[in-house]
Amino acid sequence: MTRLAVLADIHGNRPALEAVIADMARFEVDHAVVAGDSVNCGPFSRDVLEIISERNWAHIRGNNAFYALDYRSPREPAHWSAFTLPPFLRTQLGEKWLNLLACLPDTISLRFPDAAPVRVFHGIPGNPWVSINPLSAEGEVERWLAPIAEDTVICAHSHIPMERHVGRWHIFNPGSIGIPLDGLYHASYMILDGDHKGWRLQAHRRLPYDQTRIFEAFDQQRFVQRCGVTAMLLVQEFESARMRLWPFIQWKNANFPDQADSVAMFDDFQRLEDTSPYLPPEYRDLSPALYRD
């Protein structure tokens, strides 16, 4: 049997990652894998990459790596020109860690000698910007996974913990270590046990940690001053464990499509009594679920 720790969506949150590492010790894991989005949003992106590298964990890119790698390159989509986070992220990382991100794979197949193979990707195969979530239609999931030979898959991106069976596939999403979006600001990860018959969820862990280091670092790095409204909304996500940036973007596009972000616009959004119309369906009335100690 192989025991595997599954981590994802750390998003530059070192205190949450350290809480997970301390908790992992009780489970005597054999290996760990990080299913993407180690960086961006939080203030400790470089620290997180250092920790992962020091431990030689298996590690793939998530969509947030592309904000660092493709910004101001010929690959950059036109609408990124107004984004404030990519230059901040590139400054955080520096050349060494940008090069590490550049060389990471987008998917890997884990093939331990005593367990069934596992395919790891961030969103869906070939696209880290789309997620398999609890509401994804079975037919759509089967279409996405059709090229995948492995019967067990690990994905991420949604920040929603999930264990699901679709067709022949057993799907795991460990949730987010760095920015949970279900209102419970506890780092989320999974422990899986595998043998030749397949993989099973041994534990889904939710861990509290000291958040003050996050907000102190934001202040020291002048995050809001440097990144504006986007930073203000991300700070709220760290505070509330609820989605704020995406509904703001949808609300802005519906009401002020040709205007640049502004503090006045942020204040108007804050006054909304109900932002659920601007949320994807899978995040409406989302509550902590799946927890297994």
How many Cα atoms sit within 13 Å of 29 on the Cβ side? 21
Q: What are phi and psi of 155, to 5 degrees?
A: -135, 180
Which strands make up the sheet holding 169-173, listed edge to edge? 107-110, 118-121, 152-154, 169-173, 162-166
How far apart are the C-alpha atoms of 213 and 209, rounded to whole Å? Answer: 10
Q: Which helix (H) or strand (E) holds 223?
A: helix 223-240
For the stretch 26-50, pLDDT in tens is 999 999 999 999 999 999 999 999 9
Q: Where are the domains of the chain?
A: 2-207, 224-283
Contact 41, 234 (CB under 8 A): yes
| Residue 82 token pair | 């107004």
Confidence of residue 120 (pLDDT cuts 50, 70, 90): very high
pTM recorded for the entire structure: 0.94
Contact 101, 53 (CB under 8 A): no
- Provide the pLDDT for residue 258: 87
Identify each DSSP E strand in 9-92 by its residue range: 31-34, 58-59
Residue 290: pLDDT over 70: no
Q: What are phi and psi of 84, to 5 degrees?
A: -100, -20
How far apart are the C-alpha atoms of 244 and 272, rounded to whole Å? Answer: 12
For the stretch 133-190, pLDDT in tens is 999 999 999 999 999 999 999 999 999 999 999 999 999 999 999 999 998 889 999 9
How far apart are the C-alpha atoms of 150 and 109, rounded to whole Å? Answer: 8
Determine the average pLDDT of the residues in 266-290.
85
Contact 33, 2 (CB under 8 A): no
Region for residue 241 given its phi and psi (left: phi exceeds 0; alpha: psi -120 to 50; beta: otherwise)? left
How many Cα atoms sit within 13 Å of 176 on the Cβ side? 29
- Provide the pLDDT for residue 285: 73
For the stretch 184-215, pLDDT in tens is 889 999 999 999 999 999 999 999 999 999 99
Hey, what amino acid is at 77? P
Strands 152-154 and 118-121: parallel
Determine the average pLDDT of the residues in 233-261.
94
- Percent of the chain exceeding pLDDT 90 equals 90
What's the CATH fold of domain 2-207? Purple Acid Phosphatase; chain A, domain 2 (3.60.21)
How far apart are the C-alpha atoms of 196 and 118, rounded to whole Å? Answer: 11
How far apart are the C-alpha atoms of 169 and 249, rounded to whole Å? Answer: 34
